[in-house]
Structure 1
Amino acid sequence: MDAVYQWVINLLVLVVLMALSDLLIPSNSWRPFVRLALGGLLLILLLEPLFYFFRNEQSIVTVPFSQIEDSIAAEQEEGQAMIHDMNNKHQSYIWSEVSDKLAKQVNPIVLEQFNIELSNVTVWPNDSSIEEFKGEVEVELNSLSQITSDNEQELLLLLAQEWGVPVESITLTHIGE
């Protein structure tokens, strides 16, 4: 930035010098030669940024290959992190939707047979495998009446059968007691 300031200052000094030379040179015979010399200096000064660019072109264009590799690697890592984050959000959304569907699927049956309402169903997958569910399903129950351990076992079997998950992966939690 200092180079730009210096160039502008040089340009202003030369323009002032040209104006003063027109005023101070008395003879018309010398005036064209002085104007030619100062005009040449002005032309050189105006072209100086181009000379600077061509003189330093190697340092501007040449970037170390390792720096380019590091930049590309950093961008790839950032892209991978974004993809991973998006996948996590997508998976979270999918399992949230699955939880809602599971609750809606069995809530009328459970309410009719056991007089119990499912208030919240949460699916915690350990693996996103479609073939076999390997995770946990937490079910919060709003007990409209007392539930016995036999009814609880029947409820677990019903939920496991309806959802197609192992009985061991379902956890019941009573709320409102």
Structure 2
Amino acid sequence: MGHIQYLTDWTIGLAVLILLFLIADILTPSDSWKPFIRFTAGLIFLFWMLSPLKLFAGGPEALTLSLTDGLEKWVSDEKKNADELIESMSSDQSAYILEQSEDTVLHMIQESCSCEINEVEISEKNQTYSITLSITENSENQEALLENTSELMGIPTSQITIIY
């Protein structure tokens, strides 16, 4: 249906609607019902007056598409924000776990080799862990410390570094 035909049908429908509203207002038996009839008629009239806007907005399909596009963008943005939040929480949790593990490893190594270790640092790279032991003095038992730590942690000695 073309735009001219649509507007012609709309105008005829508007004239019929106004005529029906006038008849309903005249035939209403009591004054107590008139406000309800006028309110209902006003709502119908308002929607009838707004109906040509869909013609200029590209029809109901265009309105649906723009709402769908907006909703998809919103969902995409929210998913991206959630992913960033989860990633942030995961890295914070990993850092906390490594920090707690360093304390545990420090006590385990000190108890097993009866030596003084100042600090243990655990680092992770590409899902491979390495341990750096900080000791106070150059000990002759470095080889034993490396072997002991390797055995306790279940990692090769190449992933263990001793610094003074």
**Normalising to structure 1: TM-score of the pair?**
0.54
CA distance in 2, matches of 1:81, 1:100: 29
Query: Aligned pair 1:84/2:77, yes or no?
Result: no
Which of the numbers 99, 102, 107 marks the counterpart of 2:110?
107
Query: Aligned pair 1:170/2:160, yes or no?
Result: yes
The residue that corresponds to 1:160 in the other structure is 150
The residue that corresponds to 1:135 in the other structure is 129
Deviations 1:98-125 (A, max 9, x none): 2111111111333x3xxx4111111112
Which of the numbers 98, 102, 125 marks the counterpart of 2:101?
98
Query: What percent of counterpart residues are identical?
Result: 14
CA distance in 2, matches of 1:81, 1:104: 35
CA distance in 2, matches of 1:152, 1:107: 13
Any stretches of 5+ residues in structure 2 without a counterpart? 1-37, 58-62
TM-superposed deviation, 1:95: 1.6
Any stretches of 5+ residues in structure 1 without a counterpart? 1-42, 129-133
* Amino acid paired to 2:149: L
Which of the numbers 57, 73, 78 marks the counterpart of 2:76?
73
CA distance in 1, matches of 2:108, 2:161: 17
CA distance in 1, matches of 2:144, 2:102: 21
**Normalising to structure 2: TM-score of the pair?**
0.57
Q: Tell me how large the CA RMSD over aligned residues is.
A: 3.0
CA distance in 2, matches of 1:160, 1:135: 12
Task: Say which is worse superposed, 73-82 or 92-101, in terms of deviation.
Answer: 92-101
TM-superposed deviation, 1:166: 0.7
* Amino acid paired to 1:156: L
Give the number of equivalent residue pairs: 114
The residue that corresponds to 1:12 in the other structure is none
CA distance in 2, matches of 1:173, 1:83: 36
The residue that corresponds to 1:125 in the other structure is 124
Q: 5 Å matches for 1:2-41?
A: none
* Amino acid paired to 1:161: E
CA distance in 1, matches of 2:93, 2:107: 21
The residue that corresponds to 2:139 in the other structure is 147
